[in-house]
């Protein structure tokens, strides 16, 4: 790899770091998914006279292209403006009933001032269900499975201070399942229109409020969870994940959350329940590693092998996805054992592809166990754009990789696999001179033989 290019790459890296730093301060958004958000829509559908309140529909929509809500699912919280209670719910439940002793004849579902609401389990009774409910709070990413990127529940709210005057719930919180989301206050929107009578009639909500929740890795305050390693057919050296990408192995093994070493054979894995967050000991200490191997260079195509490895002893990733940014994805791309799509470049400015598992094949990235690690792998065939394709200067390696929406730590460009010396690049003037000298010698030699 030539020096000036390395310097440019290094400079880019520095710039990126600076950018990241500055956007951490000003609540960063992901430039590849700038419009991503989770929108909570609160529709008052009708007033209810028998409970002095209203009937509401709450819709949670995940507009993130490649960030999903994993098990144990979302948890929605808010503070009632007054002393409202929830009489009943379908499609979700409040985790605590609270103090309902003021209600003598009929007991509400929840009397808490700050209720916490979660989704129902898939086996919920029919009477408690609503459309788009009961997935244990799992919300798929929009670009992968838009039908399952939405949750809906209904609730009957009562005990309003006066009739026909709902007040917006305050202090909205959204856990998915951990922290990281910040929600805007509910604001008035034009009423939602609902189709009815098979689309031949439209009804509208009495009032519609919306809150938007956005994710920030800074607020989540999470250590990185993933790193990238690289290799290629033209260099036998593998570029490993940077040391301590996700944490460092403690010297003294007291606070350790990792077991086993490179020669791990499983003997030290505790029997029974394995504590959450326990990973295999590695120099990078990441729960997940993504490996990008440049495998073949054909006339019209090039081939990459992509492998994701799970070093967790107690976590399966049921709806994993990886997003890879690389200019090569502007060309036709075929993934053989993964499902894939390219990101819409009208919203994000760079070529990027999204990969996820095939159902019943590798849709689940399994935990590590005594016998080895969970891993999923696929070969990817990319059409070559002869103008931009190159094996030089690390072009064939990804610019950025995300696992489940989280940024993966990349190695620095100066340790990328290198093309062997001498096989490429124009000859130096010294080399030119040597070649000429050699040819001259051969000529002289031949001349001598003929004599
Ligand atoms: C939330 O995402 C949707 C879809 O991308 C977008 O239309 C909407 O403007 C976003 N909301 C905010 C407040 O950014
Ligand atoms: C919202 O949260 C703030 C700070 O925790 C609190 O002071 C306020 O009372 C809350 N609002 C309501 C309506 O409970
Ligand atoms: C429960 O609510 C009743 C009536 O509002 C109140 O008198 C009682 O003190 C509350 N109990 C607790 C434990 O807060
Ligand atoms: C299901 O509905 C029944 C009848 O409305 C109710 O008693 C029960 O608490 C509900 N269960 C859940 C989990 O919401
Ligand atoms: C992960 O999946 C395997 C195989 O299906 C199962 O045995 C294991 O209990 C799962 N682990 C967790 C933490 O759910
Ligand atoms: C690929 O993903 C799409 C969208 O989620 C899904 O409809 C399709 O069934 C998936 N294909 C396979 C083979 O899993
Ligand atoms: C290529 O040359 C550089 C210095 O010019 C050297 O550091 C490197 O080890 C060489 N690589 C190989 C594979 O010979």
Q: Which of 219, 245, 262 is the last residue of a domain?
A: 219
CA 37 to ligand 2 centroid distance, Å: 24
Ligand 2 pocket, CB under 6 A: 79, 81, 170-171
Distances (CA, A) of 180 to 5, 7, 142: 37, 35, 19
Same domain, 213 and 234: no
The predicted model scores a pTM of: 0.82
Q: Which atom of ligand 5 is nearest to the CA of 364?
A: 2
Q: Is residue 403 part of a domain?
A: yes
Is 212 or 313 the better-scoring residue by pLDDT?
A: 212
Q: Which of 219, 249, 274 is the last residue of a domain?
A: 219
Q: Report whether pLDDT(199) > 90.
A: no
- For residue 251, what pLDDT band results from cuts at 50, 70 and 90? low
Identify the CA nearest to 232 among candidates 423, 362, 374.
423
Q: Which of 199, 219, 239 is the last residue of a domain?
A: 219
Is 443 or 282 the better-scoring residue by pLDDT?
A: 282
Which whole number is the average pLDDT over 382-386? 92
What's the pLDDT at 146? 94
Range of the domain at 113: 38-219
- Are 279 and 328 spatial neighbours (Cβ–Cβ below 8 Å)? no
Q: Report whether pLDDT(125) > 80.
A: yes
Q: Is residue 365 part of a domain?
A: yes
Q: Is residue 187 part of a domain?
A: yes
Ordered DSSP codes for 109-150: SB--SS-EEEEPPTT--GGG--TT--STT-B--TTT-GGGSE
Same domain, 257 and 208: no
Same domain, 228 and 370: yes
Q: Which atom of ligand 6 is nearest to the CA of 359?
A: 14
Q: Report whether pLDDT(312) > 90.
A: no
Q: Report whether pLDDT(26) > 90.
A: no
CA 110 to ligand 3 centroid distance, Å: 14
What's the pLDDT at 323? 95
What stretches of 63-206 adopt beta strand conformation (E)? 75-79, 85-90, 92-94, 116-119, 150-158, 170-175, 181-183, 187-189, 193-196, 201-204
Q: Report whether pLDDT(264) > 50.
A: no
What's the pLDDT at 450? 53
- Answer whether 102 contacts ligand 3 (Cβ < 6 A): yes
Q: Whose CA is nearest to atom 9 of ligand 5?
A: 314
Most confident range (mean pLDDT) of 9-13, 88-92, 359-363 is 88-92
Q: How many domains does the chain have?
A: 2
307 forms beta bridges with 291, 377
Q: Is 380 exposed, middle or buried (0-12, 13-18, 19+ CB in 10 A)?
A: buried
Q: Is residue 154 part of a domain?
A: yes
Same domain, 264 and 348: yes
Same domain, 72 and 104: yes
Same domain, 242 and 205: no
Is 451 or 281 the better-scoring residue by pLDDT?
A: 281
Same domain, 205 and 273: no
Is 419 or 322 the better-scoring residue by pLDDT?
A: 322
- Answer whether 211 contacts ligand 1 (Cβ < 6 A): no
- Answer whether 276 contacts ligand 5 (Cβ < 6 A): no
- For residue 259, what pLDDT band results from cuts at 50, 70 and 90? confident
263-272, 275-284, 327-336, range with the lowest pLDDT: 263-272
What are 205-244's pLDDT values in tens digits? 999 999 999 998 888 877 888 999 999 999 999 999 999 8
CA 171 to ligand 2 centroid distance, Å: 6
CA distance 448 to 451: 5
Same domain, 59 and 204: yes
What's the pLDDT at 238? 94
Q: Is residue 27 part of a domain?
A: no
Q: Report whether pLDDT(74) > 70.
A: yes
Q: Report whether pLDDT(65) > 90.
A: yes
Which whole number is the average pLDDT over 391-419? 93
Identify the CA nearest to 153 among candidates 69, 76, 52.
76
Which whole number is the average pLDDT over 331-351? 86
Same domain, 332 and 372: yes
Q: Whose CA is nearest to atom 11 of ligand 4?
A: 128
Q: Report whether pLDDT(258) > 80.
A: no
- Answer whether 72 contacts ligand 5 (Cβ < 6 A): no
Same domain, 180 and 241: no
Q: Whose CA is nearest to atom 5 of ligand 5?
A: 366
* C-alpha R_g of the chain: 29
- Mean pLDDT for the chain? 84
Q: Report whether pLDDT(318) > 80.
A: yes
The contacts of residue 174 (CB under 8 Å, 6+ apart) are 38, 40, 74, 75, 76, 77, 181, 183, 213
Same domain, 203 and 78: yes
What's the pLDDT at 35? 87
Q: Is residue 156 part of a domain?
A: yes
Q: Is residue 385 part of a domain?
A: yes
SS3 category, 251: coil
Q: Report whether pLDDT(299) > 50.
A: yes
Which whole number is the average pLDDT over 138-166? 92
- Are 10 and 413 spatial neighbours (Cβ–Cβ below 8 Å)? yes
CA distance 179 to 437: 70
Q: Is residue 3 part of a domain?
A: no
CATH (domain of 153): 2.60.40.290
- For residue 94, what pLDDT band results from cuts at 50, 70 and 90? very high
What stretches of 358-399 adopt beta strand conformation (E)? 374-383
Is 204 or 449 the better-scoring residue by pLDDT?
A: 204
Same domain, 167 and 200: yes
Q: Which atom of ligand 6 is nearest to the CA of 339?
A: 1
């Amino acid at each position: 790899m030539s020096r000036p290019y390395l310097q440019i790459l290094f400079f880019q890296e520095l710039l990126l770091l600076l950018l990241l730093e500055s956007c951490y301060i000003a609540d960063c958004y992901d430039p590849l998914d700038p419009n991503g958000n989770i929108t909570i829509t609160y529709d008052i559908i009708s007033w209810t006279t028998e409970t002095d309140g209203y009937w509401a529909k709450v819709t949670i929509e995940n507009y993130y292209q490649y960030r999903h809500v994993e098990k144990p699912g979302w948890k929605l919280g808010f503070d009632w403006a007054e002393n409202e209670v929830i009489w009943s719910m379908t499609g979700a439940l409040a985790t605590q009933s609270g103090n309902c002793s003021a209600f003598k004849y009929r007991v509400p579902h929840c009397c808490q001032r700050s209720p916490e609401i979660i989704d129902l389990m898939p086996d919920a009774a029919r009477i408690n269900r609503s459309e788009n409910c009961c997935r244990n709070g799992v919300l798929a990413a929009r670009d992968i499975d838009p039908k399952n990127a939405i949750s809906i529940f209904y609730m009957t709210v009562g005990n309003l201070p006066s009739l026909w005057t709902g007040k917006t719930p305050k202090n909205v919180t959204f856990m998915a399942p951990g922290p990281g989301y910040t929600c805007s206050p509910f604001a008035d929107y034009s009423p939602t229109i609902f189709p009815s009578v098979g689309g031949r009639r439209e009804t509208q909500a009495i009032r519609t409020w919306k809150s938007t929740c956005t994710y920030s890795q800074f607020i989540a305050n999470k250590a990185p969870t993933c790193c990238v390693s690289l290799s290629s057919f033209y260099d036998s050296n593998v570029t490993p994940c940077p040391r301590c990408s996700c944490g460092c192995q403690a010297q003294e093994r007291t606070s350790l959350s990792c077991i086993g070493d490179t020669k791990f054979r499983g003997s030290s894995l505790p029997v029974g329940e394995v504590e959450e967050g326990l990973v295999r000991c590695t120099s990078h200490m990441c729960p997940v590693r993504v490996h990008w191997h440049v495998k073949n260079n054909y006339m019209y195509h090039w081939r990459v092998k992509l492998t994701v490895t799970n070093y967790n002893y107690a976590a399966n990733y049921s709806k994993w996805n990886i997003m890879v940014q690389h200019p090569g994805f502007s060309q036709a791309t075929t993934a053989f054992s993964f499902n894939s799509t390219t990101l819409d470049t009208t919203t994000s400015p760079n070529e990027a592809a999204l990969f996820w598992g095939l159902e019943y094949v590798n849709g689940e990235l399994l935990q590590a166990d005594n016998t080895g690690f969970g891993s999923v792998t696929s070969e990817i065939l990319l059409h070559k754009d002869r103008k931009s394709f190159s094996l030089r200067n690390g072009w064939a390696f990804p610019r950025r990789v995300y696992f489940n929406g989280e940024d993966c730590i990349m190695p620095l460009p100066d340790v990328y696999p290198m093309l062997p010396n001498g096989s490429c690049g124009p000859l130096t003037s010294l080399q030119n001179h040597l070649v000429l000298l050699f040819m001259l010698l051969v000529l002289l030699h031949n001349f001598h033989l003929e004599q």
